[in-house]
Chains A and B, each alone.
Chain A
Amino acid sequence: MKLMLFAPELFLLLGSLILFLVSTGKVGGKKARAVTLSLALINVLVCFACLHQEGSLFHEAYRIDFFSQLVKLVISMGFAVVLLFSTELKGIDDGVRPEYYLFLTLSTLGLLMLVSSVELLTMFIALELSSYSLYLLVPMRDDRTGLRMQMESAIKYILFGVVATGVMLFGMSYLFGLTGTTYLVELLPRLHQMMGSPAALIAIAMVLGGFFFKLAVFPFHSWVPDVYQGASNETTAFIASVPKVAAVAMLIRLTALATPEGQPIVMLLIVLSVCSMFYGNLVALVQTDIKRMLGFSGIAHAGYVLLGLVTMQEVGYATSLYYIVGYLVMSLAGFLVICKVSEHGENLAVDDLSGLHKRSPLLALTLAVSMFAMAGIPPFVGFMGKFMLLTGAYKAGHLPLVILAAINTAIAIYYYLSVVRVVYSASPEDRPAVVVGGMAKAVSVGLVMIIIAMGIFPDQILQLATDAVRAIL
């Protein structure tokens, strides 16, 4: 049954059409949200039902295996969670909300297609579908401050994005020139024969660049702080979490290209990883805007994820996947709190969280768990992920990298702790109590439980990730 192979994508595509029709009429944001939310939830079920599908479509350009299906499930879940907690969509003008949901859905669709692509052009188109939708989401924020900050962010996002895409396309043209094919399956053996040649290495590195941009790895990180700051809180929540899962999935697929003789690529990844960690963590130390801080912390986390890739082994890839899924949950938990505390969708400074434990104990706990988890304190998922990444990298013989990563953990704790400190030690002064709806409460409890459960019992998830990675190697 070929239809089942393409079911999640097809479903979201149809959903986008419905949303398109909805957006042409005079429908408010509430109805559009109801439609999108039901779409997203059903999509999770569809993805779950298609979890064990296998096969290929469109003349072998599109592979469906356990790896792609698992990542699709995770992406759909992330999408659904973002919709679940962004109940009011405070930062977006009501008039454009249907369009907002339309592009959000399209972006997710792009990501779902991306993880199944095994042909360079398909990959490119899927990536652009998701990226362009995101570019459009950023300027949709209402112009509360009058500074038109969102426009500046959007322009930066597009420009950086286009450059990254250009680099990737250039790399793809090299790959095609070297091997005469755009199919990864055929490309792989031919590339192995010329692994020593600089052209092949440059080609791979450039193609990786497109995904480094998505994942915000140094030096493709510079869009992050401004876009995080300029986009509305809900948009940032999405940009900061869901596309990164897809990016890691694609990086895993592509890094596998470089094995077994990918020593220069490994060196490249190591350097980028170290730069990302230090740059992200050091700059995050001095941030006052919490979204900017999380942006830089995201750069550092991207550096951690690369630790798994440098091993060039199945276990390493699996831990990278595990870590990015953990990161998805941790950052969603953090952004949930930001979205809820922000009263009218404005940006939050770290100080705006003062005394949160009196204004809303549950949100305070969620934020503390999220921060401690990102800092890599047990028993949360961040610790287990980091521990496994370090073990893998050490096993592969990268001791200096491991030590640098460990030092980074110590640096990072300061800014995560300063958030917790403000939440628990500062007095709320005259800041109002935070009203949290039942749904957001349930989601935050759920996220906290997942963060703890993944940290204490990583076995099943790691097994799933390993099975998934095995499917593509």
Chain B
Amino acid sequence: MDFLIMNHMGFPILSALIFLPLVGALILLCIPGETAAKNWTMLVTVVTALVSLPLYWNFDATTAKYQFGEHASWISALHINYTLGIDGISLLLVLLTTLIMPLCVLGSWRYIDKRVKEFMICLLLMETSMLGVFMALDFILFYLLWEAMLIPMYLLIAVWGGPRKVYASTKFFLYTLAGSVLLLVAIIALYLDQGTFSIPTLMGQDYSTNFQILIFLAFFLAFAIKVPMFPFHTWLPAAHVEAPTAGSVILASILLKMGTYGFLRFCLPITPEATMIFVPYILWLSVAGILYGGFTALAQQDMKKLIAYSSVGHMGFVTLGIFVLNQQGIEGALLQMINHGITTGALFFCVGMIYERTHSRELDAAAGLGKYMPVYVSFLAFFSLSSLAFPGTNSFVGEFLILVGGFANNKIVTAFAIPGAVLAAAYMFRMLQRVVWGRPVNPDHSGILDLNVREMVTLAPLLFFVFWIGLAPAPFLKVMHVSVTHLIEQVGVASGGTVSVAKLMIP
């Protein structure tokens, strides 16, 4: 247990975070009334967010060990434990999750008008499992929550989704599940090799190269589908377009991060040799994703689809940053994961707000809204700028770090990623131009009201973070620094001679 610093907070803070939403959901079962259900869920998510804040203050940024640790035996027959802990890699993701959930509740306040209680229960169950995934240090605990999350997410899309919800939800479920069945086999293989499910213990062991390659491929399939990396991305636009606003936000902000988190937490430290072998292919896949996402987004008429494809591009940057395997790249990728969560989440909220008013997500139908909704388009403009990595906004810092790391590692691959940034500007400005100044073709927007206070409260915190991270990223980079250094050491230790091989394989 030398990888774990036990929790000294006086109460099990990580367990509290996991179980608060779960207990909240159970209590919600007995609360009658729709408004009461909303208020209760709001309360639960806000309390969870408040409880999570001390994690940041009390986080020790000078160690790469897992902190706030908790450990209890769970299924003794199979050596499965209930082990929780967070390090610099998961800290910000946990905080992102807890902070974005109240906004999701707020954003669904009017959007969801049927089966409100069940919707809120699904949201709370999602929060439980998402937090658990980022905190779990036991493979079975991780897998359990990783899979269990599919059920509430499936229901969010299948029950409250748009016209093609059946297709989208089924596709989402099948893709994700098909990806993770071999993950389970890989977990079992690791367990039988080492006799433990403890994730930190499995890192840095002396596995044979062939074994590593098989494990890596099983991991990669599961995580690449979740990210989603090109060419496993086809479930994403469908799911995004059909999901209700809160579902899209959760999907974009947190669910996609689980894939990249999986790369960082499992692929790199557990199978470093295999990682080195596959790096060239993954880098090129990332570049393909960046360009493909950009070009496809450029052609979209549906705003949600546009943002969904932009996500494919942005996540391509993240995987690029992860697999250049140096300090800047990985830190940039981690920061970009948070940024993407903030910015894309906000953009989905924005689209949802238009949809509530015009009942359409078509760019043409939204054209010219700027005249009647000045506050709204200001928000939209800032988030769009952030999405295209405009200097001064959060994504600029992340993308910049990734590109720095990329150029340090491999100039050609990175050079191919650069047009992605230009494409992002193109599709975002295209959307902005239409919405802010475009002339409405037929519908009359004159009766449309600007944002109300609730909607501004939903977007304002996200805007605040856009500029905070954009102008002063140090507080966010500080906490991940030591953990990332440690991670690179873990990859480097076992790599040895393979580095040069990998370098040779990339032109």
What are 15 A-B pairs with beta-carbon distances under 8 A? Answer: A368-B151, A377-B177, A378-B145, A379-B148, A383-B147, A387-B140, A387-B188, A390-B188, A394-B189, A402-B188, A403-B185, A424-B155, A424-B158, A426-B166, A459-B74
- Interface of chain A residues 417 through 447 with chain B (CB within 8 A): 417-418, 420-421, 424-426
Q: Does A202 belong to the interface (CB within 8 Å)?
A: no
**Residues of B close to A420: CB separation below 8 A:** 154, 158
Q: Are A391 and B181 within 8 A (Cβ)?
A: no
> Contacts A387-B184, A421-B169, A459-B74 given; 7 further ones with Cβ under 8 A?
A377-B177, A379-B148, A407-B181, A409-B177, A417-B174, A424-B155, A424-B158
> In chain A, residues 370-392, which have Cβ atoms closer than 8 Å to a Cβ of chain B?
372, 377-379, 383, 387-388, 390-391
Q: How far is the CB of B52 from chain A (nearest CB, A)?
A: 23
Kindly list the 5 A-B residue pairs having the minimum CB-CB distance in the complex, ordered from nearest: A378-B144, A406-B181, A410-B178, A425-B158, A410-B181
| A463/B148 in contact, CB under 8 A | no
Distance of A72 from chain B, by nearest CB (Å): 24
Give Cα A403–Cα B74 distance, bound, in whole angstroms.
26
A424→B192 contact, CB < 8 A: no
A388 touches B159 (CB 8 A): no
Partner of A424, one of B159, B174, B178: B159
Does any Cβ of A come within 8 Å of B495's Cβ?
A: no
Say yes or no: A383-B144 contact (C-beta < 8 A), given A388-B78, A421-B166, A463-B77. yes
Is B47 engaged at the interface, CB distance under 8 Å to the other chain? no
Closest residue of chain B to A408 (Cβ to Cβ) is B181
Contacts of A426 in B (CB 8 A): 166
Tell which of B151, B159, B192 touches A372, judged by Cβ atoms closer than 8 Å: B151
- In the complex the two chains form, is A390's CB within 8 Å of B144's CB? no
CB < 8 Å neighbour of A391 from B78, B118, B144, B150: B78
Q: Is there contact, CB below 8 Å, between B188 and A425?
A: no
Report B-chain residues with C-beta under 8 Å of the C-beta of A387: 140, 184, 188
Interface string of B86-120 (1 = CB under 8 A from A): 00000000000000000000000000000000100
Q: B143 within 8 Å of A by Cβ? A: yes
Is B173 interfacial (CB-CB < 8 Å)? yes
Does the CB pair B191–A391 fall under 8 Å?
yes
Contact bitstring B116-144, A, C-beta under 8 A = 1, else 0: 00100000000000000000000010011
Q: Give CA–CA (A420, B169) in the complex, Å.
A: 11
Partner of A394, one of B144, B150, B192: B192
> Considering only CB atoms, which chain B residue lies closest to A377 in the complex?
B147
Chain B positions near chain A (C-beta within 8 angstroms): 74-78, 118, 140, 143-145, 147-148, 150-151, 154-155, 158-159, 165-166, 169-170, 173-174, 177-178, 181-182, 184-185, 188-189, 191-192
Which chain B positions have C-beta within 8 A of A377?
147-148, 150-151, 177
Q: State the Cβ distance, A166 to closest chain B Cβ, in Å.
A: 39
* B148–A378 touching, CB < 8 Å: yes
- The number of chain A residues with a CB under 8 A from chain B is 35
Assembly CA distance A317 to B393 (angstroms):
60
Q: Which residues of A contact B118 (CB under 8 A)?
A: 361
Q: For residue A410, which residues in chain B have a CB less than 8 angstroms away from its CB?
A: 174, 177-178, 181
Bound Cα distance A67, B395 (Å): 62
Question: Shortest distance in angstroms between A97's beta carbon and chain B's nearest beta carbon?
Answer: 37
Alpha-carbon distance A378/B75, docked complex (angstroms): 15
Q: Which residues on A sit within 8 Å (CB–CB) of B169? A: 421, 425
Instruction: Contact check, A390 vs B185: say whether CB atoms are below 8 A apart.
Output: yes
- Taking a contact as CB atoms under 8 Å apart, the answer to whether B192 and A395 are in contact is yes
A413 close to chain B: CB less than 8 A: yes
Given contacts A387-B140, A410-B178, contact A394 B188 (CB under 8 A): yes
**Residues from chain A with Cβ under 8 Å of B182 in the complex:** 403, 406
Q: Decide: B174 and A459 in contact? CB cutoff 8 A.
A: no
Q: Mark A54-86, 1 if CB is under 8 A from B, else 0.
A: 000000000000000000000000000000000
A17 to B189 CA separation, bound complex (whole angstroms): 55
- Are the CB atoms of A421 and B148 closer together than 8 Å? no
Contacts A379-B144, A391-B192, A459-B77: A357 and B184 contacting too (C-beta < 8 A)? no
- Asked if A462 is at the interface (CB within 8 A of a chain B CB), the reply is yes
Residue of A nearest to B76 (CB): A459
**When chains A and B are docked, how far (Å) is the Cα of A395 from the Cα of B148?**
25
Inter-chain CA distance A462–B78, complex, in Å, is 10
A391 touching B188 by the CB < 8 A rule?
yes
Contact B75 A458 (CB under 8 A): yes
In contact, B184 and A406 (Cβ under 8 angstroms) = yes
CB distance from A316 to the nearest CB of B (A): 13
CB-based nearest A residue for B186:
A406
Minimum CB–CB distance for B218 against chain A, Å: 10
Chain A neighbourhood of B76, CB < 8 A: 459
Find chain A residues with CB under 8 A from B143 CB: 378
Give the Cβ gap from B26 to chain A, nearest Cβ, in Å. Answer: 12
Q: Which residues of A contact B148 (CB under 8 A)?
A: 377-379
Find out whether the CB atom of A409 lies under 8 angstroms from the CB atom of B192.
no
Residues of A within 8 A of B178 (CB): 410, 413
A410 to B178, CA, bound (A): 5
Chain B residue at smallest Cβ distance from A388: B78
Return chain B residues, CB-CB under 8 Å to A466: 77
B185 touching A425 by the CB < 8 A rule? Answer: no
Q: Hey, which chain B residues are within 8 Å of A403, CB to CB? A: 182, 185
Q: Roughly how many angstroms separate A456 CA and B261 CA in the complex, as a whole number?
A: 25
A458 to B80, CA, bound (A): 11
| A413 contacts across to B, CB distance below 8 A | 173-174, 177-178
Q: Which residues of B contact A361 (CB under 8 A)?
A: 118
| B residues less than 8 Å from A418 (CB atoms) | 170
Complex-state Cα separation, A367 to B469, whole angstroms: 46
- The interface residues of chain B lying within 8 Å CB-to-CB of A462 are 75, 77
Closest residue of B by beta carbon distance from A463? B77
CB proximity to B under 8 Å, residues A317-369: 357, 361, 368
Closest to A386 in B: B184
